Each structure stands twice: as structure tokens, then as C-alpha cells.
Amino acid sequence: MPRLSVAVVVFPGSNCDYDCFWAASQCPHCRVQYVWHKDANPGRFDVIILPGGFSYGDYLRCGAIARFSPVMQAIVAHAHQGRPLLGICNGFQILCEAGLLPGALYRNNTLTFICEHVYLRVETTASAFTRSCSPQQVLNIPIAHGEGQYFADDATLQQLEERGQVAFRYCSRAGDPAAQFNPNGSRHNIAGILNAAKNVLGMMPHPERAMDARLGSCDGQVIFRSLLDAVSA
């Protein structure tokens, strides 16, 4: 079976790169490698992952400086060519700052850094990242962020909802996306969104940290399997 090439991009301050590398490596037909942010010509990859962390120390705004790293031109080209691009936590922030996803992430409404397992409801299975999920499936995945409040204006939100671009919503264990299950004030309880073409996903929770029941949940596996099976199909 041909090997899928997966890149995990590393910015100065990224700290979830190792876990993303490990999670993608669980796929037997994947070849995973790190790409340093200064590499302007990293080559062609089937899948690119932007991991979590504190790129550039979150200076100015989370992801605001990383979006100008030399590697970003290749990442934008990859996205425009329709290939899968996954941004997790700081990766999601970088994608929004780069304009590859609409809206912005900012300070949690609690003003605290929140590190806990939450429940997410899968809002669409019409993407490479969620196609192996069942409709409205509830996933138990950890979050760890201080700036995860998703904001987009009313018009953008309406468009996201109408076009099925909301990927995940914070919810209760039973899948109820009520306000009380929203950890950070994100509009519409949004935990992850897709671009219009549905090949770019940004999500605040960490599926790469939910790959082993011994660590609390293996619900992240379905996202990696969806993605890596979809691309190799």
C-alpha cells in the first residue's frame, strides 16, 4: 500500500508536535516527518498538521507572527490545492490569522487557562476529518487553552452554519450543545470549523491527546483514522 506523507510543522514555541507526530504514526501506511517553520520549500505532502503550543510565545496575538513564517506559503498552496490541512489549538489560531479559516480565537471568557476533558458533538461527517464518525457522535477530547474563544460576526456565523462548516460543538456527555457546556464562551459553542471546501479543519481540542484509553480517552483515533483513511482511499 502506498505510503501517505504527513507533515507536522514545527514553529518556535510549538509543543504538541511530538504528540501529533506520534498520533499520525499510529497509522500503519503513513510516513510522518517534521517540517521546521523556516523551510520555504518543504516539498509536497498528502496531509499537513499544524500542532498546538505557543508559537512565538503568543506575542501580539496567538498565531499572529507564525502566519508569516516562510513555510506558510507552501501551506497556503497545499490548502488551495484542496489537500487536507489540520490545525490543532495554536494551529487553529494560525489558520485563522492566515485567513485560511474565517473568524478569530481570543481570550477565554473565564479569563482562565482551561485544561480539562470536554465533550464535542460532531456536526458534520462531510469532511475527510469526520467521515468515519457517526452523525452527531459525541467525542471526549481534552482542551488546554487560554485563548480558545471563537468569534465571528453574525454574517460569517450564519454562513458557517448554512454551509455545514461547523465541525465540532462543545456539548454535554449526552450531546446537548447548551451554553453551560461551553468552556470558553465561543459563539455557537463552536470548537472546530472547516473552510468552504472542507479540506481545512481548525479545532481547539487536542485529538492527538485522546489516542489511548490509559490517558483518559481514545476518541481522537476516529479523527486521525477518518483523515488518514480518506486520503489513502
Partner 1 sequence: MKAHIFVTLKQDVLDPQGSTVQRSLQQMGYANVASVRIGKFMEVELTGTDPENVAAQVDEMCRKLFVNPNIEEYRFDLR
Q: Which residues are catalytic?
A: 89, 206, 208
CB of 147 to partner 1, least distance (A): 11
In angstroms, the CA 179 to CA 187 distance is 9
The residue range among 7-15, 44-52, 56-64, 130-138 that interacts with partner 1, by the rule CB under 8 A, is 56-64
Going by the DSSP 8-state scheme, the letter that residue 211 receives in this structure is: S
Going by the DSSP 8-state scheme, the letter that residue 177 receives in this structure is: -
When asked if residue 61 is in the footprint of partner 1 (CB under 8 A), the reply is yes
Rg (CA), the chain: 16
The residue range among 36-44, 70-78, 151-159, 168-176 that interacts with partner 1, by the rule CB under 8 A, is 151-159
What is the three-class DSSP state of 124? coil
Report CA dihedral (174, 110, 220, 202) to the nearest 10 degrees.
Answer: 110
What is the three-class DSSP state of 8? strand
111, 155, 174, 179: which one contacts partner 1 (CB under 8 A)? 111
When asked if residue 106 is in the footprint of partner 1 (CB under 8 A), the reply is yes
Cβ contact 150:105 at 8 Å: yes
Cβ contact 165:159 at 8 Å: yes
The residue range among 20-28, 30-38, 99-107, 207-215 that interacts with partner 1, by the rule CB under 8 A, is 99-107
CB of 109 to partner 1, least distance (A): 5
When asked if residue 103 is in the footprint of partner 1 (CB under 8 A), the reply is yes
CB of 138 to partner 1, least distance (A): 27
When asked if residue 196 is in the footprint of partner 1 (CB under 8 A), the reply is no
User: From the CB of residue 184, how many other CB atoms can be counted at a distance below 10 Å?
Assistant: 25
Residue 26 C-alpha cell reads as 499510529
CB of 206 to partner 1, least distance (A): 23
Residues contributing to the site for partner 1 (CB under 8 A)? 60-61, 64-65, 68, 96-97, 102-104, 106-111, 149, 151-153, 185
